[in-house]
Amino acid sequence: MTSSNKKNPALGRGLSALLSDNPSTVGGTSLVSIAKIEPNPFNPRTDFDAEALEELAASIKELGIIQPLTLRKINADKYQIISGERRFRASQIAGLKEVPAYVRVANDQSMLEMALVENIQRENLNAIEIGLSYQRLLDECKMTQTELGQKIAKSRSDITNHLRLLKLPARIQANVRDGKLTMGHARALLSIEGEKQQLEVLNAILEQGLSVREVEQWSSKKSVGNKPNLAKKTTSPLEQQLKVQLGLSVKLQEDSKGKGKLILSFKTTAQRDALIAKLNAG
């Protein structure tokens, strides 16, 4: 332990000076060999963006791991991840031999609960992953929605709204998961009856950039038998010209007074950087 008159080094590069090299102290913070760590089969996150992992690995090489992993001790030579699998994967890419970790002992039931709760609270899960985590806590950990809300400090309405997303067609859920559809849009789609109609409006959202309000209005009009026109908008000459010149998806939103905005969409940092280079060159 450092004395009170000494400055504590930051976590990361100076971490080894703070932590015990003996990972047998369960519940404490230790340096654990990466070779002894295995992923958590209960982890609700299944998709890990390769580019984001590379960026995190570069940060870890420079600064070390700021937030330790949380591990379950299985035996003297094996640990299982409760939370922090993304940091674990990035550490492997960075070539680390050991990582800082909080070590706990838990049976499978409590481990599942800890993994789900910690991911909901600490990880950047999308709305579908959160909904799946809520459902698993209710089903597999035998919680009520009230108990779940108390444990994760969320309102019952928040829990209900995320659970309702799981009733949407798989294609809509996939678009929410992939960040192509907001939770607001997904909730608006829930009010539309029938999978065919929901998918029809989904296509309109993706192709025309419909707002949440426009989807809600469509649902309201449809409920009284007046189906709005969702025909695909024609591409303006300006949109077409910019699309050819920039190689990106371009949307023009303009009102009757000529006021509006252009939306340029890129999918990767490489496309973003190429756009910046073209704009600077112009």
Instruction: Name the residue among 90, 63, 72 with its Cα closest to residue 9.
Output: 63
What is the spatial distance between Cα 100 and Cα 69, in angstroms, rounded to a whole number? Answer: 6
Q: Tell me the sheet residues that pair with 252.
A: 262
In Å, what is the CA distance from 24 to each residue of 39, 84, 86, 105? 19, 19, 23, 11
- Domains annotated on the chain, with CATH: 15-112 (3.90.1530.10), 237-281 (no CATH)
Whether 64 contacts 13, CB under 8 Å: yes
Q: Tell me the sheet residues that pair with 154.
A: none
Encode pLDDT of 34-60 as tens digits. 999 998 777 767 678 888 899 999 989
Whether 7 contacts 77, CB under 8 Å: no
User: pLDDT value at position 20?
Assistant: 35
Q: Which residue has the tokens 């990466």?
A: 34
User: pLDDT value at position 183?
Assistant: 92
- Under DSSP, the state recorded for 99 is E
User: pLDDT value at position 179?
Assistant: 86
Confidence (pTM): 0.49
Ranges of residues in the chain whose predicted pLDDT is under 50 = 1-28, 223-226, 231
In the chain, the N- to C-terminal Cα span, in Å, equals 59
Whether 39 contacts 79, CB under 8 Å: no
User: pLDDT value at position 266?
Assistant: 76
Q: Tell me the sheet residues that pair with 101.
A: 30, 69
Given 54, 85, 147, 200, which residue is catalytic?
85
Q: Is 98 a catalytic residue?
A: no
User: pLDDT value at position 7?
Assistant: 36
Instruction: Name the residue among 101, 115, 113 with its Cα closest to residue 43.
Output: 115
User: pLDDT value at position 255?
Assistant: 57
Encode pLDDT of 209-230 as tens digits. 888 888 888 766 654 444 555 5
What is the spatial distance between Cα 148 and Cα 134, in angstroms, rounded to a whole number? Answer: 8
